[in-house]
Amino acid sequence: MSDPDPELRRPTDRTCERCGREEMWRDGSWRVAEVDGERRVGSVYCVHEWDINGTFVPFDDGSGRPAGSA
């Protein structure tokens, strides 16, 4: 009843900034999203640059070192 929902702590959808692939987190894995019946598979050759709603931001200050190591 009062169980914390682990799904709230992680992104539930993501979009590739390079090829436009869209995925949704479902049943424990990423599934290709469908929009208006069209599967947004993007490019199979793309290395995928995921845009995850700003909820998950990997450190990237251009130095290649973890933030706060200055």
Which spans of this chain sit near Zn ion (rule: CB under 5 A)?
16, 18-19, 21, 42, 46, 48
- The token duo for 19 is 């090829």
Q: Is the dihedral of CA 35, 41, 43, 46 positive or negative?
A: positive
Question: Which is closer to Zn ion, CB of 19 or CB of 52?
Answer: 19
- Shortest Å distance, C-beta 59 to Zn ion: 21
- Shortest Å distance, C-beta 47 to Zn ion: 7
In angstroms, rounded to a whole number, what is the distance separating the alpha carbons of residues 28 and 14? Answer: 15
Question: Which is closer to Zn ion, CB of 5 or CB of 38?
Answer: 38
